[in-house]
Every structure is written in structure tokens, then in C-alpha cells.
A and B are shown apart, each in its own frame.
Chain A
Amino acid sequence: DAMVIQNPRYQVTQFGKPVTLSCSQTLNHNVMYWYQQKSSQAPKLLFHYYDKDFNNEADTPDNFQSRRPNTSFCFLDIRSPGLGDAAMYLCATSRGGANYGYTFGSGTRLTVV
């Protein structure tokens, strides 16, 4: 089945230690998104790739970076995680227009200790 897969499902990292979250898709969608969701809050868009074009949200901290080496994979790098970065990170894909809706992965729950 075509899908969006996020690895790992749960990630524990130490304060200040770089961590990378992974997302892959078999849908061949050209847009990939990373959202951060903290408990009982709305998912917050961090950035997205439209094909190879990277688009950062204005309020996304510099601590967060992303890479998209090919259509299928997208990575979220947190250079120096702080306690406030503990959250669920959701990857989503779409076919350019939101009229098609997003397909989400199951998310990665990040814990910072």
C-alpha cells in the first residue's frame, strides 16, 4: 500500500544532542511537510518542500533544519534539542494542491532528557 512512513516512532535524545527524524513516502507526492504538535495544541507547520524548493515558516527556529535528498525521503534535523522541543513530529505529503488533502505518517514522538 502506498503510504507515508516515519522512523522511528519514538525517539529519546539528550539535551543538546543532534537528532534526525526520517520520513519516506511511496505516493510520489511532490510536496512534503513537517509539522510539530505539542500536547493538546494544533499541529504547527515548520517547513515544507515543494519538489526541491525548501520553504521555511517565518517563526521556525534556526535549530530546525530539513533535507530532501530525493522525492521519496525527507529528514528533520534538530541541531541542539531543548526540553521545549519535545513533541510529536508529523510528516505529511500532498500532490501540490491541498484540494487533494494530506497523507500523514504516524508521527515520531520525541522526548528530550
Chain B
Amino acid sequence: DQQVKQNSPSLSVQEGRISILNCDYTNSMFDYFLWYKKYPAEGPTFLISISSIKDKNEDGRFTVFLNKSAKHLSLHIVPSQPGDSAVYFCAASREGYKLSFGAGTTVTVRA
């Protein structure tokens, strides 16, 4: 039973524009949310996270928004750069440390 869902398998955006990645979850017990970035032939790397007590967290070009009532989070990348082309995984934490992942969204930044 998939508890974290990324319904857009791919996203294409022009360089300099905003990329918006969406993620929905079903388990109301999740209390911590993370985004990971993955390049081909490499393992996922941590990008940004947010606690359930917040609704926004910003780190440079990356901002994560959390809407608990809708069980929805999003990742904004502004401005998008060619190096941002990768697969982005949304993940959620339960029981303090185990992560459940979405299927990923492949982002392609066009020059």
C-alpha cells in the first residue's frame, strides 16, 4: 500500500523558470518529510526536509511547503538550472526513523 505518492513521473522546465514537484501522503502519523535527489548511477542524496510543525522550509533555491490538512507537500526550485536535472524522491518518516518513499519525479531542465 503506497503511502507516499508522486503522481507526476516527469517534469520538463526551462532553465531559469520555477520547478514545482508535488507529493501526497496518506498516513497522518508521518511527522517528518524529506526530498532526495538522484542522478543516474548514484544513490539518492538528501536535499531538504520539513517537520510537521512547520509549513515552509527554505534552503537557497529550494523551498518545501507542507499542507498538513491536505496531506500534501511540494518542492519549489527557483531558478531551475541544468544541474537540477535528476530524479526527485519525496519521503516521509514514521516511528521516528523509517522512511517511506514516493516513486520519484524525473526533472529535465531545458537550456
| B96–A101 CB distance below 8 A | no
Please determine whether A97 and B104 come into contact, CB atoms closer than 8 angstroms: no
**Interface of chain B, helix or strand or loop or mixed?**
strand
B87 to chain A, nearest CB (A): 10
List residues of chain A with CB within 8 A of the CB of B51: 99
Q: Mark A26-43, 1 if CB is under 8 A from B, else 0.
A: 000001010100001111
**Cβ-defined contact, A42 with B43, below 8 A:** no
Most chain A CB within a 10 A radius of its CB, from B36, B49, B98, B102: B98
A42 and B4 contact, Cβ closer than 8 Å, known pairs A98-B96, A102-B99: yes
B86 close to chain A: CB less than 8 A? no
Q: How far is the CA of A91 from the CA of B2 in the complex (A)?
A: 20
Q: Which residues of B contact A66 (CB under 8 A)?
A: none
Asked whether, in the complex, the Cβ of B34 is within 8 Å of the Cβ of A105, the reply is no
Is the Cβ of B44 less than 8 Å from the Cβ of A104?
Answer: yes
Report the contact-size class of chain A (Cβ under 8 Å from the partner). 20 to 34
B39–chain A nearest beta-carbon distance, Å: 10
User: Does B41 contact A106, Cβ atoms closer than 8 Å?
Assistant: yes
Residue from B2, B43, B99, B102 within 8 A of A105 (CB atoms): B43
Q: Which residues of B contact A (CB under 8 A)?
A: 2, 4, 9, 32, 34, 36, 41-46, 49, 51, 89, 93, 96-104
Q: What 3 A-B pairs have minimum CB-CB distances, sorted nearest first?
A: A104-B43, A98-B93, A101-B46
Other 14 A-B pairs with CB < 8 A, given A43-B89, A96-B96, A103-B46: A31-B97, A40-B9, A40-B104, A41-B103, A43-B101, A45-B98, A92-B43, A98-B96, A99-B93, A101-B34, A102-B46, A104-B36, A104-B45, A106-B41
List 14 contacting pairs A-B, 8 Å CB cutoff, sorted by A.
Answer: A40-B103, A42-B4, A42-B100, A42-B102, A43-B44, A45-B98, A48-B98, A96-B96, A98-B32, A98-B96, A98-B99, A99-B51, A104-B36, A106-B43
